[in-house]
Structure 1
Amino acid sequence: MSVAETRRKKIMALLQKHQSMAVSKIISQFSYSPATIRNDLKVLCNRGLIVRRHGFAAINSSTVQASNENFSDRTMKFHDEKVKLAHAAMKYIQSSECILLDASSTCYEIAKVLNKEPLRLTVITNGLMAANLLKANSLITPILIGGIVNGASSAVEGLLGLNLLTKLNIDYAFLSPEAFTLDKGLTDFSIYEVQLKQQMVKYSNKKIALISPDKLGHNSLATFSEADQIDQFIIAQTPQNATQITSIFQDHPHLHYIVV
């Protein structure tokens, strides 16, 4: 991540904490020039992450609402496509492996499929719903990553569970971002979620990205994985995004993807 993006992430952390701050107060928190910070605020505003008015900057409430959307509501969005993504992911999973599922509603669909399969697995996850579901399967050993519990997203976030990731040999990590573009890679809004997912990418042998139609062609706050760090993209195709998928990947033959 560039110095500028790291700085903008810190600005967003401030605004997430305080909701609204005077621009002069934000500037005073950093050892950069006022012009640099004002430019960062302009960039964040153009991305739709914050709003600016009368010398103040504030979190864009519509963006925050989307990022903290109730988990059960998220499972209903593009549900059929997420089920297809989950079934496509199954071809990469074999018995006796250690896999990782993030806390996304898409990976929850993978957990639902796994729960019905006769596979002996270790499943690491920061998803409360996935861990709770898989605990009933005697063939599966679910391991919940420790950290800060986000009730809205039913996720465990932050780096408190990092030591766990360093000690296990993870065969496959299945990751679903809040947004994806080739330019910014896989992105998420929650800084704590981004921090944890960056470590998931680092300590997993193979990375599989699951992209539902609402994630394609958008950017969120911070990148947790560059596109070329992903071993396989699985993308849900609809009549509306078929051309978009082709245009994104046609000039990048080194990126492996399938559509479902």
Structure 2
Amino acid sequence: MKKLFATERRQLILDILRDKKRVTVKDLANDVNVSEATLRTDLNILEDEGLLTRTHGGAILNEEQLPPKKSFSEREKKNRKSKITIAKKAINLVDHKDCILLDASTTTLELARLLAESNKQITVVTNGLSQAIELKENPAINVILIGGIIRMGSMGIEGLLGSSILNQINIDKMFTSASGFTIEEGLTDFNVYEVELKRKMVEKSNKIVALLDNTKIGTSSIASFATTEEIDTLVVDHELTPEIRTELDTRGIKVL
């Protein structure tokens, strides 16, 4: 097994715990291919985040704290009214002849649906299969699909296999959603395989627009893909708390 980054290791640990429910440090260290000392550090961090409970010589999964694995269609239906509201605001940020990037989130899918019905002449780069399908019938929109790996239950392409295309294109704006957002950690997601590509997307985009419904603000997941300072605009479906609004204003982040 290749050496994993810390966030990738912790994702793998959680995946193994999802399957086995209870593990020993020794067995898990072998499965993850790290020393027991390194593994204990990872387990302590995951326990601090409430995702597992340490036991004598091992760990058990806190299933009530772990985000359930949901299919794309299930996630698409959740809070859809809020996502549509956000998309209607976000489409006003797309200008004629823009080259924009859409991640594979269900929120950007709603934006893609609005763009598909618009007369905006734009180029859309995406790792979302659903986004690409929605947009491909509009002759005014050029669609570029990033290649890579597709996992069961996902409609998003993951990994960095096709990311070299991002080096060849000037991205004006990236529209992205997340599992959570806090001032301290920025935009975070639970799937480190998705995060890997999202970090590259952020790096190659001139502006970052985060689309977040009310369930995302103030929560965080295990892997960050964009710091708060990297965000240019936040599009939300509700008023933010005065504390968060002040922090965003201080950093020059526009809120819609």
Shorter-chain TM-score range = 0.7 to 0.9
Task: Work out whether 1:248 is the aligned partner of 2:249.
Answer: no
Residue 117 of structure 2 aligns with which residue? 116
Question: Superposed, which structure 2 residues align to 1:204-219 within 5 Å?
Answer: 204-219=205-220
Alpha-carbon contact 1:180-1:216 (below 8 Å) kept = yes
Question: Superposed, which structure 2 residues align to 1:152-171 within 5 Å?
Answer: 152-171=153-172
Alpha-carbon contact 1:187-1:225 (below 8 Å) kept = yes
Residue 40 of structure 1, CA deviation? 2.7
Alpha-carbon contact 1:104-1:176 (below 8 Å) kept = yes
Q: Secondary structure at the match of 1:213?
A: coil
Cα distance change of structure 1 residues 133 and 23 upon mapping to structure 2, 3 Å threshold: same
1: distance between equivalents of 2:197 and 2:109? 18
Q: Secondary structure at the match of 2:142?
A: strand
Task: Work out whether 1:96 is the aligned partner of 2:93.
Answer: no
Unmatched segments (≥5 aa) in structure 2: none
Q: Secondary structure at the match of 1:228?
A: helix
Task: Work out whether 1:30 is the aligned partner of 2:34.
Answer: yes
Alpha-carbon contact 1:9-1:221 (below 8 Å) kept = no
Could you list the per-position Cα deviations for residues 146-190 of structure 1 after superposition, in whole angstroms to 9, with x for gaps in the alignment? 111133231111111111111111111001011111111101111
Residue 3 of structure 1 aligns with which residue? none
Residue 203 of structure 1 aligns with which residue? 204
Q: TM-score, normalised by structure 1?
A: 0.86
- The percentage of aligned residue pairs carrying the same residue is 36
Residue 174 of structure 2 aligns with which residue? 173
Task: Work out whether 1:257 is the aligned partner of 2:254.
Answer: yes
1: distance between equivalents of 2:108 and 2:188? 16
Alpha-carbon contact 2:7-2:192 (below 8 Å) kept = no
The number of aligned residues is 247
Alpha-carbon contact 1:78-1:213 (below 8 Å) kept = no
Residue 10 of structure 2 aligns with which residue? 11
Could you list the per-position Cα deviations for residues 191-214 of structure 1 after superposition, in whole angstroms to 9, with x for gaps in the alignment? 110000000000011111111111
Q: Secondary structure at the match of 1:251?
A: helix
Alpha-carbon contact 2:183-2:247 (below 8 Å) kept = no
2: distance between equivalents of 1:222 and 1:154? 20
Q: Secondary structure at the match of 2:90?
A: helix
1: distance between equivalents of 2:172 and 2:26? 48
Amino acid at match of 1:114: L
Cα distance change of structure 1 residues 158 and 63 upon mapping to structure 2, 3 Å threshold: farther
Cα distance change of structure 1 residues 247 and 56 upon mapping to structure 2, 3 Å threshold: same
2: distance between equivalents of 1:191 and 1:202? 16
Alpha-carbon contact 1:171-1:205 (below 8 Å) kept = yes
Residue 222 of structure 1 aligns with which residue? 223
Residue 258 of structure 1, CA deviation? 1.9
Residue 113 of structure 1, CA deviation? 0.4
Cα distance change of structure 1 residues 99 and 8 upon mapping to structure 2, 3 Å threshold: closer
1: distance between equivalents of 2:130 and 2:59? 35
Q: Secondary structure at the match of 1:250?
A: helix
Residue 17 of structure 1, CA deviation? 5.2
Residue 82 of structure 1 aligns with which residue? 83
Unmatched segments (≥5 aa) in structure 1: 1-5
Residue 217 of structure 1, CA deviation? 0.8
Amino acid at match of 2:48: N
Cα distance change of structure 1 residues 203 and 57 upon mapping to structure 2, 3 Å threshold: same
Q: TM-score, normalised by structure 2?
A: 0.87
Cα distance change of structure 1 residues 141 and 219 upon mapping to structure 2, 3 Å threshold: same
2: distance between equivalents of 1:161 and 1:150? 15
Residue 50 of structure 1, CA deviation? 3.4
